[in-house]
Amino acid sequence: MTIIHQNDTLICISSQKVRVLNMGKTLSPRTEAILKSIVEQYIARAAPVPSQSVLHNNGLDVSSATIRNEMMRLKQEGYIIQPHTSAGSVPSDKGYRHYVESLDDIRLPLNQQRMINHLFHQVETRVEEWAKLTATLLANMSQNMAIVATAKPDNCLFKHLELVSIQDSTALLVLVLQGAVVRQQLTVFDQPVTQTELSAISNRLNGLFEALNNPGIQAKKAGLSDLEKSITDCILNIMKIEDEIEYEAPYMDGLQFIFNQPEFAGTRQTTTSLALTENKNLLRVILPDKLTDRGVHVIIGKENKSETIQNYSVVISQYGLPGEAIGCIAVIGPTRMQYARSIASVDYLAEVLTGLMAWLYGRKIVPESDN
């Protein structure tokens, strides 16, 4: 089981369930049940929740006056807010946080797990389809906007080189990096070079550079011919550019679900949502300062570091192989989101993608213990 400490929170993540436990101040069972009722009714209806609705919803054998007193306490302690004096109550970020931390045994239903496994089995040999399928599935399962960044290593590794003659002094350089990343570049030489010569150079460099990173290839340049050094410089430049990219341009899906939310129906909010999706640095905007631990992170409202998304909640997880290739997967939606559904969806899809990455890299994943 993975343990993530976040402020006062202990978040316990396993491959089959996500359980979030509050380590801070606790509420009484009755107060907790009332807060849960308010949060879940507001999530379902997007309308302030009156005390009478709480009384009829939670099944507690108490008077309406008791419910009102408990709601007053929740308001005083910042768990709920009252938009207008005569209106019902809505959860605050603190209320949502407590609700998320009290969720237990969060898991995706088995029929949905089987459906996901079947769909990925159909594309398991088409690496370029993995992130796209994940974004589509995640958006539809969570009914929010999904973002998926493809996994990439901190330092790319050489896998294979092909040089294809195009003209007498021009060749297409095809570089394959670990993780099925393919890059191509036209290369112009100072003199004519035959395909036979290019093939011989490819074979020699493949033997020298196998599984090396940029510094490792640099160290091998000393014994190369001028032509081989020229080709090696092209390889090093491609790998340098790859290493400087934190994440590839992410796949996004589900913007329509954002627009369908009542809290984003106004022109100003719609403009904000559009600006959010058009932001080329969106992934950097939603990433927490430290996303190094495995497992699902939930960032609610003003917990987000960027003001741009402080009306949103983010459910995010890394996936992949630590030390080899890491990507991330996230759901963005209103703070009034179905947290259990989003957490379960992100958790399971991250697990599926990690399994695919392990298969791609020829690695085995050790199952996590729930103890």
> For 4-38, how does the pLDDT look when each residue is reduced to its tens digit (9 = 90+)?
434 444 334 333 344 343 344 578 889 999 999 99
Give pLDDT, residue 14.
39
Q: Per residue in 252-277, is it b (16+ CB within 10 Å) or e — as a string?
A: bbbbebbeebeebeeeebeebbeebe
CB-CB contact of 20 with 97 (8 Å): no
Give pLDDT, residue 6.
42
CA distance 113 to 358: 19
Give 160-214 pLDDT, tens digit per residue: 999 999 999 999 999 999 877 889 999 999 999 999 999 999 999 999 999 899 9
What residues of the chain score a pLDDT lower than 70?
1-25, 246-248, 265-281, 288-293, 365-371
CA distance 48 to 165: 69
Of 179, 161, 336, 331, residue with least CA distance to 265:
336
Give pLDDT, residue 351.
94
For residues 282, 286, 290, 296, the Cα torsion angle rounded to the nearest 10 degrees is -120
CA distance 57 to 300: 25
Of 154, 163, 162, 157, residue with least CA distance to 179:
157
0.85 exceeded by pTM = no
**Based on the number of CB atoms within 10 Å of its own CB, is 234 exposed (0-12), middle (13-18) or buried (19 or more)?**
middle
- C-alpha 253: how far from its chain's center? 13
Give pLDDT, residue 290.
60
Alpha helices in 124-213 (DSSP H): 130-142, 195-209
Phi first, then psi: give them for residue 51, nearest 5 degrees: -60, -35
CB-CB contact of 329 with 148 (8 Å): yes
Domains of the chain with bracketed CATH: 18-102 (1.10.10.10), 110-153+247-361 (3.30.450.40), 158-244 (3.30.390)
Phi first, then psi: give them for residue 104, nearest 5 degrees: -135, 145
CA distance 149 to 246: 10
Give pLDDT, residue 21.
39
Q: What six digits make up the tokens of 20?
A: 């979030």
Give pLDDT, residue 289.
61
Phi first, then psi: give them for residue 116, nearest 5 degrees: -65, -45
